[in-house]
Each structure stands twice: as structure tokens, then as C-alpha cells.
Amino acid sequence: MIADVADIDGRRDEGWIEQLLAAPEFVGEDIEGAERQPVAVPFPNAADIDFAITTQRTLAAEALKTVHAQLGQRYNPIINGASVETGEVVESVNPAKPSEIVGKLGLASQEQADQAIAAAKAAFLVWAATPAKERAAILRRAAEIMEARRHELNAWMVYEVGKPLGQADPEVSEAIDFCRYYADEMERLDAGYAYDYPGETNRYRYFPRGLAVVISPWNFPLAIATGMTVAALVTGNCTILKPAENSAVIAAKLAEILLEAGMPAGVFQYLPARGSTVGAHLVNHPDVHMIAFTGSREVGCRIYADAAQWRPGQRHLKRVVAEMGGKNAIIIDESADLDQAVQGVVYSAFGFSGQKCSACSRAIVVASVYDTFVHRLVEATRSLNVGDPAQPSTKVGPVIDAQAQATIQGYIEKGKAEATLALAIPAPETGYFVGPTVFTDVKPDAVIAQEEIFGPVLAVIKAQDFEDALRIANDTDYGLTGGLYSRTPSHIERVQTEFAVGNLYINRGITGAVVSRHPFGGGKMSGVGSKAGGPDYLLQFLEPRHVSENVQRQGFAPIEGVD
């Protein structure tokens, strides 16, 4: 209990303000026989840069200049520790300035993919036998290198995928966290479990699966690529990273960091390639044991189906870990703090131009506060600056490429036929820009309310009450993230069991999951597998084995030649 701050007759004690603001103090008696549980020490996440500090802004500006001077270089596949020439070269361009070439990428052929698989097979036994502490130490060194190169990595993301600095820097923090967290987790799992009985010992241990293929996306080109790759590596699997073609330069920087940190030749290999041909070949190869994928529902379902097929020479069933996007909703009920809700929806919907798998694409608002919320939402969205992500004032940059731009614009045209266009912010004509767009009076079954758009388009849906809002929120194929803004305890309690999403956020934005604090991943058509950055993620990359030994005295056979 806490001491009262007022007399019985209502008069204030002296110092009542200090008492009110003081930390709660337990003044009762301990329950006899009860044991106090130790407080778990949280994982120490890497800190983001505070760009309000002048020196950090200066360092960021210098890094942008330094990296800009390096644009246009060539990046080849790295197979068995060596850079290899390729017959096909493509250009990765700046989506804000498509005439600006960020890098020239040598795309691996199917024959080179087979060479990478052969090198991985040759390296596997030694890597699998490498102590977990040594593998973890390499990850921790990689984290230190990332921290030292933070501003540079931010700059590469600005140029290659159009991320403003405020969106890029937390991604570097996440990549660092993945390295350190999975290093810790592998050391924990390496201890295994022992269950001994009289006359019998039992050991439960984990072993790597074999060869892992990581197919990483462009929207989190450093963090997700790092997370999937280092999870596969630290668990003892030889790993081939095939990044998305339009973010392969950033993946090349990750490859540099891992090799500098000490990843052996053949254990980790960087393989930019065509997903439709070489990527499919890797998925189907009988020597591949698992595939970790993040990307579209269409591609993810195809990988899942192909990996399930047995191939001649294959002696295992492949494991697939796939994250495939979402159609995420935030519910705003009649008790919500609307200022807080507007801020959270705007950031969640339009951060990185709505190109996060966790982005809010549906705001479901109860009727009693609908008009007020919409008015504030439109005005708040109108304040967003759209432009070159290299400029500090930019809040919304470009979308990734011309195809994405055309697809999003197609959905906007559908929205105009289905709903009311409440706001369409003008966007620069040069570059792949789409301005933040808000539709109101959207029907729950409208195309823009059901299909993943992956761009800065928000559908605002009116619900009659909280019950109706929850029903609408769940009425989608996806189940990745969701949110609720409410001050009603019963609503807050209900969504925790009835809102069918993998990550639920209450009275805060629904993007920006932090390693260990917010293990990330969804269900339904949003993916399959355990949550990234969580305590069971590494288990997917491991095979458990149990050994039971009868240790009752039976004698021992002598070793020939040993006294």
C-alpha cells in the first residue's frame, strides 16, 4: 500500500506533492513463506542516434557525402570466400533519383549457385563442430563493426531504398541487436538439457540442420537480411544470402561486415541473383535444408509449396520460415485519446512510405468519434514533407521502384471508385514518389481494405461500435500486426485474446518492433514460423537430439594399444 496524501477531512498534508510523485513503496508485511522472484535483466538494445544533437547531424551529412562519392561501384557474388565475375550485370538505382546508379550488381548464374552450394557442403562439418561460443563471438564482432559504420550504413539505405535517416537508423540498431541477441540465445541453447535418473543419463541437445538459404527483402535491407542470416550462421548452418535485387548493395555491405568479423569461406556466401530463376533453383536444390524468406505472399506461398516437394537425392524434409506481409488495422474506440491515436496512425501508415510489412493500412474508427478523428487525421497527414530522403526535413520518401509506384497508383484509382478521397498529397514528378493518400467512407470488403498495397495509402473505415470494429479488423486473410487506441479496460483486455494478430500494440504505433522486447511475426497468411527476435526463433534452425545412456556398471572394452 501507499501512504495517504490527504487527511480524513480532506486537508492536504505538508509535502503531499512530493509524496504523490514519489515511487510507490511497499509498507505491508511479506507473506510468510513467499519467495521474491528475481527481476529479469532486459536485453540491452542498441541506442538509436539522437539527430537533435548537432554533432550527430554533422556526422550524418558527412556520411551522405562520403557514400555518394562511392556510388556506381560494382558488387559481385562472393563464393567460397572469393569475389567472382558474372555474365549478367544489373544496376541498382536511387528511387528518389532513378538516373543515379547506386551500384552495379553481378548476378550469379545457376552454375555459380551450384558452386556456392558445393562450397557450403564442404565447409559444413567444420562449422557445425565449431564451438557455439566462437560462432557467437563472430556475431558480436559484426555488431561492433556495424556500430562503428552506423552513419555509413544509414547513408546507403537513404540512397538505395529511399529511407529517410530517421527510418534508417533504427534499422541499424535492429541489425546490431539481432547479432547480439542471437549470440546470447545460441549460448543458452548450446547448454542443452539434462534429465538424469538412477542408472541412466539423458541429454537433450541441438544441432544445425545443414545448408540454409536466406532470401531477404528490400524494405528492411539491413535488419531483416542480418537477422535471418546470423540466425542461420550462429546455429551452425552454412548460409547463402540471396538479397532482393533492388537492395543488393546494402546486402553487399552486410557481407563485407560478416567476412571482416571472421566468417570462414564457404560458411557464408553472398549471392545476388534473379529470384525467378536462381532463387527458385536454390529453393528446389536437394542439398538445401531450410529456407528463410521475407517478402510477398505470392512468392512465399510458392517457396512453401516448392520446398515441400521431395527431390532425388534429398534425405530430409526442408524447413521454411516465411514472413509474407499484412493488412494491418488500428482500432480507435470512443474512449481513445484522439491526439495520441492520430499521431500513432500517421506514423504507422506513412513511415517509410507505408512500405513496412507492419504498416497500418486500415484505421477502424467507431462512429461516435469518426468525424472528429478523420478531420484531425487529414490535417496531421497534410503536414508531412514528401521529397528526397537525403534532406533532413523529409518525412516521406519515394517508393522502391517504377513497378511499385504503378501498382500503388492503380490501387488509388480503385479507391477513388470505392470510397471518398479525403487527401492526396502532391509528390515530386522526378523519382518513384507517391504522396500519402487517405480514403474515408471505405467499406470493410473494399479492395483497398482487403488487399496489401505496400504503399502510403490508408483506408479509414467506420464501425458502429467496438464489437463491430473488432469484427472488421479480423476480417482479412492476414494476421501480422494490429493496434488499439482505448482507455476502456474491457476493450484493452478483449483485444489481447480476440484480435487475431501476431503483434498487438495498445495505445502506441504498430511499427518499430524492437528485438527481444517485441518478438515479431504473424499468423494466417502473414507467415509461418516463430517470431524473429524472440526466445524460440533459433530453434527453427536447429535439430534436437536426445541421447539416453544406461550407466549401470557393465565394464569397459579396452582400447587396443593403450595400457
Q: Which residue is it, cell 582400447?
A: 559
For residue 443, what is its C-alpha cell?
A: 467499406
- 212 close to 151: Cβ distance less than 8 angstroms: no
Name the pairing type of β-strands 97-107 and 73-75.
parallel
Instruction: Give dist(CA 93, CA 154) in Å, integer.
Output: 16
Instruction: Give dist(CA 205, CA 375) in Å, integer.
Output: 58
Q: How far is CA 179 from CA 138, 183, 226, in A?
A: 9, 6, 8
Q: Which of 152, 171, 245, 357 is catalytic?
A: 357
Nearest to 532 by CA among 523, 521, 541, 543: 521
| Residue 238 annotated as catalytic | no
CB burial string 428-459: b at 16+ within 10 A, e below: eeebbbbbbbbbbbbebebbbbbbbbbbbbbb
For residue 260, what is its C-alpha cell?
A: 571482416
Q: How far is CA 395 from CA 60, 67, 74, in A?
A: 16, 21, 30
Helix runs in 419-559, H state only: 447-450, 466-474, 489-498
Instruction: Give dist(CA 87, CA 65) in Å, integer.
Output: 31
DSSP character string of 348-402: HHHGGGG-STT-EEEEEEEHHHHHHHHHHHHHHHHT--BS-TTSTT-SB---SSH
Instruction: Give dist(CA 231, CA 214) in Å, integer.
Output: 10
Instruction: Give dist(CA 69, CA 67) in Å, integer.
Output: 5
| Residue 323 annotated as catalytic | yes
Nearest to 299 by CA among 330, 325, 272, 318: 325
Instruction: Give dist(CA 71, CA 69) in Å, integer.
Output: 6
DSSP 275: I
Stretch (H or E) spanning 200: strand 200-208
- 448 close to 459: Cβ distance less than 8 angstroms: yes
Strand order in the sheet with 290-294: 82-83, 78-79, 268-270, 238-243, 211-216, 290-294, 319-323, 527-528
DSSP SS3 for 177: helix
Instruction: Give dist(CA 521, CA 501) in Å, integer.
Output: 9
DSSP character string of 26-93: --SPPPTT--PPPPPPPP-PPPPP-TTSHHHHHHHHHHHHHHHTTTTEEE--EETTEE---SEEEEEE
Instruction: Give dist(CA 410, CA 414) in Å, integer.
Output: 6
Q: Which of 160, 174, 185, 323 is catalytic?
A: 323
Instruction: Give dist(CA 507, CA 283) in Å, integer.
Output: 41
Task: Identify the burial level of 52 via C-beta atoms within 10 angstroms of its C-beta, where 0-12 means exposed, 13-18 middle and 19 or more buried.
Answer: exposed
- Please list the active-site residues: 323, 357
